Amino acid sequence: MVVSIPRAGAALGPRPVISDADYAAGPYWACDATLPAADPGPPPAAVDVAVIGAGYTGLTAARETAQAGRSTLVLDAGPIGGGCSSRNGGLVAFSIKPAHAVLAARHGAAVASRIYAEALEAVASLKALARDEHLDCDWRDAGCFVGAHTARHLRALVRDSAAPPAGLGVPFEVVSEARLREAIDSPLYRGGVLYPDEAAIHPLKLVAALALRARAAGARLCAPCAVRSLARTPGGFELATAAGPVRARQVLIATNGYTGALSPWHRRRVLPIGSYMLATEELERAQLERLIPQGRNVGDTRRVVVYLRPSPDGRRILFGGRASAAEKDVRRCLPRLRAMLAEIFPELARVRVSRAWMGFVGYTFDTMPHLGEQHGLYYCMGYCGQGIPSATYYGRKLGLRMAGRAGGDTALAGLEFPARPYYLGRPWFLPAAVLGYRLADRLGL
Ligand SMILES: Cc1cc2nc3c(=O)[nH]c(=O)nc-3n(C[C@H](O)[C@H](O)[C@H](O)COP(=O)(O)OP(=O)(O)OC[C@H]3O[C@@H](n4cnc5c(N)ncnc54)[C@H](O)[C@@H]3O)c2cc1C
């Protein structure tokens, strides 16, 4: 066994929560990549465009506005890319959650079909960007296996995979229980579906590459520099930032799961939900290749989300899920996260963990991303845990819209961004919902 990353040490306090938890807190991705540096010095006093949030959304939007000749400033309360964009699992998939029929009932068949076409285009555009600009992000056409935890769920999964109209579905292949070991060596599943077109990336390398490109286009990156308040002025907005006031003609809120008191209208519409991940110690290559043949991404049909994949070097399993009913320190979630991994691979019940971390994804009440302009403020957020293709795709669209350039049209523009009574930004109902989902999963419902 090789554990080449630092031990938990002082950062985690003197008492490990589980006996063999000599893990380091923080994303596994930081082992071989570093967050992009901010530009030195204070922010300029006035810009055309201020982008709040330096993740995939903000950086792709900033690249477009800067390329269009607008002076562009990207501000982040933490490090550049330090939100979800450097903490995720790196699974690149078709990322619209509602079924086509559900969207057709809500918005009409034509809009539903446009939304689906854009979701397909989002994955294709990211792949093209990675290829054409030689993005250093460990892109791998890994494919994804989704396991069905009951025979009924397998039937539903196959039915749902085949449901979109012609040309709007994702290619798939059914894996029967008899052939399960070709896809995964797990006793948990009764078969599943393979999606060969899905991919895996290194998320931190991706955000670093996007930061480089935004900067090369002329955007200025300022961090750590929280925006504390926003006030409307005759010519746009005045931002009170940690480094002083900044005037901006246009402002983009790109804060997703980290949306806070700065923009109460958005905060009422985005639910910050913790997603937790661990990286195992190094496994024997043969073991990993047996557990996840061909190194695919893996998800399943249970309601409490889980996802896993091999690390880019093919030596560890990176496993994630909704481990906590309430938001907790990742240390306290680790035993549950390990137990969730062991449900899929019982032989890993005692595997050592090398890294553990979490981040806040941004959910919405209609499980759809949203973008647009509200009271003069632009926004783009709500990817519901699947933001790699969506944030890069819609971030670009929004940047084009802000710059008044062609190509910013999207089926999402103009869709209502729903709120709920009694929801002001703290998802108090989440613990009960997660417990209900866990029970439903246990009962195979
Ligand atoms: C553990 C985990 C696993 C995930 N796995 C996947 C996956 O496998 N596939 C996938 O597609 N998606 C995944 N996601 C989701 C994906 O990472 C996000 O949807 C995506 O990164 C969102 O990008 P973003 O730029 O909108 O937001 P973020 O990258 O979260 O950036 C928002 C930024 O806003 C900043 N901010 C907030 N308030 C202020 C303020 N007042 N002033 C200045 N800055 C502010 C924050 O500091 C933060 O850096 C995962 C997320 C997590 C947490």
Mean pLDDT along residues 8-30: 59
Summarize pLDDT for 412-439 with one digit per residue, the tens: 998 999 998 878 888 777 777 777 777 7
Q: Give the chain's length.
A: 445
Summarize pLDDT for 277-307 with one digit per residue, the tens: 999 999 999 999 999 999 999 999 998 889 9
Residue 219 confidence (pLDDT) above 60: yes
Residue 420: exposed, middle, or buried by beta-carbon count in 10 A (0-12, 13-18, 19+)?
exposed
* Cα–Cα distance, 168 to 405 (Å, whole number): 27
Q: How many CA atoms lie less than 13 Å away from 409 in the CB half-sphere?
A: 5
Q: Which atom of ligand 1 is nearest to the CA of 275?
A: 1
One-letter amino acid of 164? P
Which sequence spans correspond to the domains of the chain? 34-139+203-270+364-414
Question: Residue 10: what pLDDT?
Answer: 31
Residue nearest to atom 25 of ligand 1 (CA): 55
Looking up tokens 């390329």 gives 67
* Cα–Cα distance, 26 to 203 (Å, whole number): 14
Residue nearest to atom 50 of ligand 1 (CA): 88
Residue 6 confidence (pLDDT) above 70: no
Q: Which atom of ligand 1 is nearest to the CA of 309?
A: 8
Higher pLDDT, 355 or 22: 355
* Cα–Cα distance, 229 to 214 (Å, whole number): 24
Summarize pLDDT for 48-85 with one digit per residue, the tens: 999 999 999 999 999 999 999 999 999 999 999 999 99
Terminal C-alpha separation, the chain: 40
Question: Which of 258, 267, 364 is the best mutation target for the ligand 1 pocket, counting ligand atoms within 8 Å of the beta carbon and taking the most?
Answer: 258
Distance 135 CA to ligand 1 centre (A): 19
Residue 173 confidence (pLDDT) above 50: yes
Is the CB of residue 87 below 6 angstroms from any atom belonging to ligand 1? yes
User: What confidence category does residue 21 fall into, taking pLDDT thresholds of 50, 70 and 90?
Assistant: low
Residue 225 confidence (pLDDT) above 50: yes
Is the CB of residue 67 below 6 angstroms from any atom belonging to ligand 1? no
In 3D space, the residue among 355, 294, 326 whose CA is nearest the CA of residue 89 turns out to be 355
Task: From residue 258, give the alpha-carbon distance in Å to each of 85, 156, 169, 357.
Answer: 12, 34, 32, 16
Q: Please name the CATH architecture into which domain 34-139+203-270+364-414 falls.
A: 3-Layer(bba) Sandwich (3.50)
Mean pLDDT along residues 359-367: 95
Task: From residue 187, give the alpha-carbon distance in Å to each of 83, 294, 343.
Answer: 35, 18, 8
* Cα–Cα distance, 322 to 333 (Å, whole number): 9
* Cα–Cα distance, 143 to 139 (Å, whole number): 12
In 3D space, the residue among 260, 295, 256 whose CA is nearest the CA of residue 395 turns out to be 256
Q: Which two tokens stand for residue 25?
A: 């807190």
Q: Which atom of ligand 1 is nearest to the CA of 81?
A: 49
Is the CB of residue 55 below 6 angstroms from any atom belonging to ligand 1? yes
Distance 389 CA to ligand 1 centre (A): 12
Is the CB of residue 263 below 6 angstroms from any atom belonging to ligand 1? no
